Structure 1
Amino acid sequence: MHPSDKTAEQASMAPLPPTSPSSPSTTASPRLLHSSSSSSSEWSAVVQRNVKSSLLLLLVLSTVFVFSVLYSSHGFGSTAAEEVVELTRRPLVGDPDVSTRLVPGEEERADEPVVVPAENNVNQEQSSPAEISLPSANSSSPPTPGTAERTGEQSVVGVRVEERCDMSLGKWVREPRGPVYTNLTCPTLPDFKNCQKYGKDPGHLFWRWQPDGCDLPRFSPERFLAVVRGKRLAFIGDSLARNQMDSLLCLLSQAETPTDVYRDALDRFRTWHFPAHDFTLMAMWTEFYAHAVPVLDAGGKPTASFDIHLDRLSANWTSRLPGLDYAVISGGNWFFRVNYLWEGGRRVGCVNCREANLTNLGIAYAVRRVVRAALEAIARCRGCKPGLATFLRTYTPDHFEHGSWFSGGYCNRTRPLEEGEVSSGSIGWELRRAQIEEVARAREAAASAAGSRRFGVLDVTKAMMLRADGHPGGHYDKRWVRNASDCLHWCLPGPVDMWNEMLLQRLAQISPAPLVR
């Protein structure tokens, strides 16, 4: 209590001075008159002090009440915002990368021989060569400053959101239990992708991703299947999207063995079904999202380069969107070769070319444009479910050292890199930034249109930059690809399983299911 308040309180509690008895006489002695005047003055002072004390106390109580109301309103607003916007990511602080680039065309040469022989249940249906026309998108500029995502308590396209767990920042720590499955317990793991069978050091299996400030729970096959019961999920992208689907198949097969439903002639479109949970899992192949055709050489044979039409999307994957509940899109690695960009029926530039009178627009520009087009197509897909949730998995680098696929490159690390070993100047961070900004753009458009489709990010870039030890390298069946080293794809089991741990956390936020022990 303040000293002045204490003095006022003591004064108000003191006994009043005694009053003089009345006298019938109209005259009073001078002494009596003086006593009466003194008592009156003291009483007035006491009253004034009591009034001041009461007013001060009322002011303090009013202030406390007002602040309590404001605090309660603020807390309610934060909770409501968190519940309304659940799919949000943010960029990392800094911009490191450790990728050494692919020689243009070598990724394709490494992928092409990997063709699984046909099986009895294979549907030989061919993908439609048609494409979807898109409006021109002349600008590839990022969102206006102030609308992009911020670190920590963030503002994503103007919406205040608090992340329950930021899984993009963290480190790899020892995991003595090892993976959820092994190369021997996964019934769907192709033999040529069995790194352990072909001599891969098992040290890469005993690590887990530990986000800063929170935990990423170990993958639970039972919980994932409970969350996606009755749903359809597709991985849309290139061979790394297939890598993630293969990982999820291995993880879920620990709880239920899936049924192989469909495979196209090139094994690029796959469908699996988990009958006990009525869950359908699919892979949809697309190198660029956009309609692209190989550039022919003088003899009419396809080269490693492509003509990419930025204003048209391939119907090979867009025609399969209806019926999906969840879509996970990814990509970026195919843009590192020499490619030509088309719009409005003419060449408008290139990527990685050195031709006169043709502008090299850069990899990040091309990636931004096709990601934007893909997200816009999903947002306005007329035949798609209103609640379709789309996640973009961010770019992941290769870890070739001293060469590339067919030129002596290797990746023989036996433990994750330290953060100080990760470079800060590579293009990988620029691609990741473009992807995240385009998701923010799509989310803003969906919010302004009052749509129910949701967009989110699986930000795995930093985590995978550190895992130079997780690639097959030369540890695979050489009958599929000879004289090559694979430092782009990921061993199973391996670091790629973390992508599906992150996916489970995101799905559980929008489609809660009881925890399964």
Structure 2
Amino acid sequence: MKIEVLELLKNNYAARNIPKGVFLLPFTFLVVVILLLITNLNESYSYLYGSSVESTENFSCNIFSGNWVPHSKGPYYSNESCPFITYKQNCFMHGRPDREFLKWRWKPDECELPLFDAKQFLKLVRGKSMAFVGDSIGRNQMESLLCLLNSVARPEDITARYTSNDDKYFKWWYYADYKFTVTILWSPFLVKSSQTYLNDTSFSNAENLYVDEADKAWASHIENFDYVIFSGGQWFFRPLTFYENGHVVGCQKCHNLMEDPLNLYGYRHAFRTAFRTVINLKGFKGVVFMVTHSPNHFENGEWNKGGGCNRTLPVTREESAFLRPYGLDEFYQTQVEEFTAAEKEAREKGLRFGLMNITGVMLMRPDGHPHKYGHNLDRNVSVNDCVHWCMPGPVDTWNEFLLHMMKKERL
């Protein structure tokens, strides 16, 4: 475009026999004006529609250090426009009256986090596959992603299928126009377990964890996936018995004593086993992302003792220091240590691991949970949910992080 304008102006001046010196000053001024206009148009388009110019995106910036700032434009979608929201995350359908918690965006300290661009995302994943492996927090992020892509993908283009009779736990979505597959491989412990939770989801029943054996529910599927996203944590608060090499090596809240302290042996080895399983897959060539522990926000009591999360606004980074839920620091530190060791080993084998460090980011969002507008997944019963995230809501930011990290991995 710039070259065409230049030639047109030169020819016009030459046809009129105007001296070159007379041409240079106004021509130079005009070129500067045109360049400024093009730059401003690009910046405006990027801001409004999220189609950021990749050359200006800062991939050296720590996007996980920052604060939440006001954003008047509101969310990408509504609970009415997106058909993929799980019943228990549909806060507005269940009566949540406030909307202020939707008018905030994450602002890193030293750069801008681009808006989510559905077209750009689908271009990146054309012909690829993505698996969310973990508990319902991973499903929360996957459903957010489906809602974000819903603005571009045609409803008739998307097909769903299930890998079991229970579509709560295993679900695959296929975007035919893009040949893109996304799935949730629901595995709350990542390792093999006695699966008593399938019949009773209460936190009082003991669960046997075989911490040196990956759960085949996900491990038998991921060899050919291009992106694998691990998350998990909330299920590790319950009574647990740890097995290694077929023998008991420890337990948590033994004999169902709920006041016993946390024993993070199972949590540490669950991630260690999961990472080792991926690293040792002979044919695996994909990218692994780990989402750090998603904090709960029960205040004025524990989850089963009247605690709730009735805030309607974010808190600052400084204020979040007073909202640290039980076990958060220990869970986070354990995850990061295991990830760091695995990332080093993976890099030596030519594999790519990335850390989606959302713990501190989401600690500042006590306003983003369903609270008393939460519902049980199995039946129409209200629950005080300060663990999962409303949709739309701050969980959509995770997929802004995801897109940024995916673009960074392509460099």
Q: TM-score range by the shorter chain?
A: 0.7 to 0.9
Alignment of 1:192-341 (within 5 A): 192-200=88-96, 201-256=98-153, 257=155, 259-263=158-162, 264-267=164-167, 268-294=169-195, 304-341=205-242
Q: Which residue of 2 aligns with 1:429?
A: 329
Check whether the contact 1:472–1:486 (CA below 8 A) recurs between aligned residues.
yes
Is 1:456 the counterpart of 2:357 in the alignment?
A: no
Q: Which residue of 2 aligns with 1:118?
A: none
Check whether the contact 2:373–2:383 (CA below 8 A) recurs between aligned residues.
no
Alpha-carbon separation, structure 2, partners of 1:185 and 1:482: 24
Of 342-351 and 420-429, more deviation after overlay is shown by: 420-429
Which of 440, 445, 470 is the equivalent residue of 2:345? 445
The SS at the match of 1:447 is helix
Q: Structure 1 residues 274, 477: CA separation in 2 closer, same or farther (over 3 Å shift)? A: same
**1:184 shift after superposition:** 1.8
Q: Which residue of 1 aligns with 2:81?
A: 185
Is 1:491 the counterpart of 2:390 in the alignment?
A: yes
**1:447 shift after superposition:** 3.1
Check whether the contact 2:134–2:188 (CA below 8 A) recurs between aligned residues.
yes
Q: Structure 1 residues 489, 213: CA separation in 2 closer, same or farther (over 3 Å shift)? A: same
Which of 278, 281, 286 is the equivalent residue of 1:378? 278
Alpha-carbon separation, structure 1, partners of 2:382 and 2:181: 37
Is 1:403 the counterpart of 2:301 in the alignment?
A: yes
Q: Kindly, what percent of the aligned residue pairs are identical?
A: 36
The SS at the match of 1:469 is helix
Alpha-carbon separation, structure 2, partners of 1:481 and 1:331: 25
Q: TM-score, normalised by structure 2?
A: 0.77
Q: Which residue of 1 aligns with 2:51?
A: none
Alignment of 1:137-156 (within 5 A): none
Of 495-504 and 267-276, more deviation after overlay is shown by: 267-276
Alpha-carbon separation, structure 2, partners of 1:499 and 1:309: 30
Check whether the contact 2:271–2:335 (CA below 8 A) recurs between aligned residues.
yes
Q: Which residue of 2 aligns with 1:345?
A: 246
Q: Structure 1 residues 339, 211: CA separation in 2 closer, same or farther (over 3 Å shift)? A: same
Alpha-carbon separation, structure 1, partners of 2:160 and 2:277: 27
**1:188 shift after superposition:** 2.1
Q: Structure 1 residues 271, 437: CA separation in 2 closer, same or farther (over 3 Å shift)? A: same
Check whether the contact 2:82–2:150 (CA below 8 A) recurs between aligned residues.
yes
Q: Which residue of 2 aligns with 1:169?
A: 65
Question: Who wins on radius of gyration, i.e. which is larger?
Answer: 1
Alpha-carbon separation, structure 1, partners of 2:59 and 2:266: 30
The SS at the match of 1:276 is coil
The SS at the match of 1:322 is helix
**1:326 shift after superposition:** 0.3
**1:302 shift after superposition:** 11
Q: Structure 1 residues 420, 443: CA separation in 2 closer, same or farther (over 3 Å shift)? A: closer
Check whether the contact 1:227–1:511 (CA below 8 A) recurs between aligned residues.
no
Amino acid at match of 2:70: R
Task: Point out which structure has higher relative CO (alpha carbons under 8 A, 6+ apart).
Answer: 1
Check whether the contact 2:205–2:256 (CA below 8 A) recurs between aligned residues.
no
Check whether the contact 2:237–2:262 (CA below 8 A) recurs between aligned residues.
no
State the aligned residue count: 340
- Flag structure 2 segments of 5+ consecutive residues without an equivalent: 1-57
Check whether the contact 1:294–1:303 (CA below 8 A) recurs between aligned residues.
no
Check whether the contact 1:406–1:484 (CA below 8 A) recurs between aligned residues.
no
Amino acid at match of 2:65: L
Alpha-carbon separation, structure 2, partners of 1:368 and 1:481: 35
- Flag structure 1 segments of 5+ consecutive residues without an equivalent: 1-161, 513-517
Amino acid at match of 1:220: D
Alignment of 1:48-63 (within 5 A): none
Is 1:510 the counterpart of 2:400 in the alignment?
A: no
Q: Which residue of 1 aligns with 2:373?
A: 475
Is 1:394 the counterpart of 2:297 in the alignment?
A: no
Q: Structure 1 residues 457, 363: CA separation in 2 closer, same or farther (over 3 Å shift)? A: farther
Amino acid at match of 1:315: K
Q: TM-score, normalised by structure 1?
A: 0.62
The SS at the match of 2:354 is strand
Alpha-carbon separation, structure 2, partners of 1:306 and 1:199: 35
Q: Structure 1 residues 238, 291: CA separation in 2 closer, same or farther (over 3 Å shift)? A: same
Q: After TM superposition, what 4+ stretches of structure 1 lie above 4 angstroms from structure 2?
A: 476-479
Amino acid at match of 1:475: Y
Amino acid at match of 1:164: S
